[in-house]
Structure 1
Amino acid sequence: MSKLSEEDIQKKLLQFPDWDYFDEAIHAEFEFENFKDCFSAMSRIAFECEALNHHPEWTNLYNVLNISLSTHDADGVTNKDFKLAKAIDAIVVPEDEE
């Protein structure tokens, strides 16, 4: 998997309004109503991560989930990261808000 150029990353980010690029990774922060909803989303995301064999760096503090995606083998952001970001967005953004 090839590392994307910053220009390619910025173009792809136009389709991902909740994500930003810095420090060689794409990042997002999601806020939920409570810890239970946040943890539930994390559990659903974990299944997607396993299916894609791609795992985020993430932190959770009460109802806030911070996620950073990069492909360590490529030393930066690849299409694999955007594939996982798309799966994450499908989980955390209710369909009626898309």
Structure 2
Amino acid sequence: MAVLTDEEIDSAIKDLGGWERTGGALRRSVKFLTFLDGIDAVHRVAEHAESKDHHPDIDIRWRTVTFALVTHSEGGITDKDVQMASAINGIVGDR
């Protein structure tokens, strides 16, 4: 799978509410009402990621969960990352 160009990434981000490109990855931080709501969302994302064999980096800080996506084996952001970002949006909703 090919690494996306800057233009392709910029175009994809327009359709991915809440995501930005920083540090060579797609990132989104989501603040939940409670710590356990965040943990529940992480669990649902993890189940989806496992089914797709494409796993985000996840950082949990109390009620804020940050997801980071990059295809390490390809050395950059690929379509798999864009697809996973869209799936994560579907799982966590608009927050």
Scaled to the shorter chain, the TM-score interval is: over 0.9
Q: String of CA shifts for 1:39-75, please: whole Å, max 9, x gaps.
A: 0000000011001101111110111001110001110
- For structure 2, list consecutive stretches of 5 or more residues without a partner in the other structure: none
Query: Following TM superposition, by how much is the alpha carbon of 1:23 offset from its aligned partner in structure 2, in angstroms?
Result: 1.6
Query: Following TM superposition, by how much is the alpha carbon of 1:24 offset from its aligned partner in structure 2, in angstroms?
Result: 1.3
Match of 2:17 in 1: 17
TM-score normalised to structure 1 length: 0.92
What is the rounded CA distance, in whole Å, between the counterparts of 2:22 and 2:6 in structure 1? 10
What is the rounded CA distance, in whole Å, between the counterparts of 2:72 and 2:83 in structure 1? 15
Match of 2:37 in 1: 37
Percentage of matched positions with identical amino acids: 29
How well do the aligned residues superpose, as a CA RMSD in angstroms?
A: 1.2
TM-score normalised to structure 2 length: 0.95
Query: Following TM superposition, by how much is the alpha carbon of 1:17 offset from its aligned partner in structure 2, in angstroms?
Result: 2.1
What is the rounded CA distance, in whole Å, between the counterparts of 1:48 and 1:85 in structure 2? 11
Match of 1:83 in 2: 83
- For structure 1, list consecutive stretches of 5 or more residues without a partner in the other structure: none
Match of 1:73 in 2: 73
